[in-house]
Amino acid sequence: MTLNRFLKEKRPGISKLAESADCTEKETEDGTKPAGTAEEREAKTPARQEKMHVKPAPFRSLIKSMTFSNSRLDCFEQCPFKFKLKYIDKIKPEIGKGIEAYMGTVVHATLEKLYKDMLYQKLNSLEDLITYYKEQWESNWDDNIVIVKEEYTPENYRKMGEEYIRTYYERFKPFDQDKTLGLEVRIDVNIGPNGEYTVMGYIDRLSQPEEGVYEIHDYKTSIKPKTQDELEADRQLALYALAIRQKYPDAKKVRQVWHFLAQDKHMVVEKGVDDLKKLEEETVRLIKKIEEESEFPHKGSALCGWCEYRDRCPDFKHEHKLSKMEPNEFLNEPGVKLVDRYAELMAEKKKAEDELKARFDTELEKIKQAMMKLAEKEGLRVIMGSENRATLWSKECYRFPGRKDPGREDLEKIIRQAGLWDEVSSLDTFSLSKLLDNPPPDWPTPIVEAIRAMATKERLERVYLSDKK
């Protein structure tokens, strides 16, 4: 795909930019066409790479030898910086894990015991199971466990897990819906054209309700269940399904079963071979992206509160350092002093600017009205001063909703539907720059690099102040 075509298809608003780009195919001296597109060949030259800001992938060989798991892939998607600390630098976190994860581990261990004992023809009573759960909770408790939602106590979480087990037990007893084939079953699935990548994982429970049918059970202890669409798109259990199909040739059907214990909701997805193939390709693309990563930028999200690397994260390490200080030590900390002074000056500046602006605006408006009156009375468009001339202009104009105002979406829809978008829109270079930092997966690399090559890199420095809460 050429840059012209790409820009037209992906961003109609930037098509004018594409028209000036030279993307023509050139031939070699002997008249034969060199391999690859012009952009691809050009992108490979070292000088060009430097200009395009292409960085070598320093961890490629290390990552190539890595066995992936869905958690690792999720981790990279959530935050590449966290992925690097955890799986490349292998840094042991000083911050403990969240209590939600702890509760999940104890609930999983309890359900594992339930089904494991059944393999030995022992059916635990509900009370036996709850006793086991409580013992596990107590004996594995660690004071480093973090409670992000400070309004809840460890006891609240312990009771939640207990309730999940009760509800599950009551719903499925006497647990004869299927035959358990294994618990915490390790799977290794080979993916890629030559099976060159291995993804491993553990299935909470693998069962067989009937000949040729396999079920992959996954227990979820989160408060929020997923929608059917989200489960259809889920990578983890689909990879496990792929592994089961590779391992058991008699598998006619492989079902992915999620047990959302908090809601007593049990949801099933059954993927066909084509869907699994698509998922495999997407996963290979993601692994290749990880191999090529050179910067591992940090990426904040709602999950940062639970991140065990906040003490190393550029967004949180200062806050973490301050959380360990006494109040007077805190106020003398150099960073705190700088930000406090900066905020103070900004507030003073804003106040002074507002006052000055209000004074000038009132005065200017008064004079403007007087000039308009004079112009109307004497039929003038230009009024002369001693050094300046004032040209008066007035016109009724349309005012449209801004980008965030209500009605903006409808306005854009009407313009797009009328096919007028290209005529009234212009290139949003800020959005383009943001997209280039993390190009969407369907943007071909040569095109991304060609756009990058048209830009110069400069460091902008801004300080944004906001309230702490």
The residue ranges that bind ligand SF4 (CB under 6 A) are 79, 81-82, 298-300, 304, 307, 309-310, 313, 315-316
CB of 315 to ligand SF4, least distance (A): 5
Residue nearer to ligand SF4 on the CB measure, 38 or 307: 307
Residue nearer to ligand SF4 on the CB measure, 82 or 245: 82
- Beta strands per DSSP E along 329-398: 382-384, 389-391
Tokens 């992000």 sit on residue: 148
Spatial separation of the C-alpha atoms in residues 204 and 251, rounded to whole Å:
19
CB of 76 to ligand SF4, least distance (A): 11
Residue nearer to ligand SF4 on the CB measure, 97 or 452: 97
Contact between 238 and 279 under an 8 Å Cβ cutoff? The reply is yes
CB of 285 to ligand SF4, least distance (A): 22
Enter the DSSP assignment of 397: -
Residue nearer to ligand SF4 on the CB measure, 85 or 106: 85
Q: Which residues of 143-182 are buried (b: 16+ CB within 10 A; e: fewer)?
A: eebbbeeeeeeeeebbebbbebbbebbeeeeeeeebebbb
Residue 427: what are its φ and ψ, rounded to 5°?
Answer: -65, 130
CB of 64 to ligand SF4, least distance (A): 24
CB of 77 to ligand SF4, least distance (A): 11
CB of 83 to ligand SF4, least distance (A): 9
| Other Cβ atoms within 10 Å of 345 Cβ, number | 10
Spatial separation of the C-alpha atoms in residues 89 and 84, rounded to whole Å:
6
Residue nearer to ligand SF4 on the CB measure, 219 or 309: 309
Q: What angle separates helix 99-119 from helix 154-172, to the nearest 10 degrees?
A: 30
Residue nearer to ligand SF4 on the CB measure, 146 or 455: 146
Spatial separation of the C-alpha atoms in residues 8 and 292, rounded to whole Å:
27
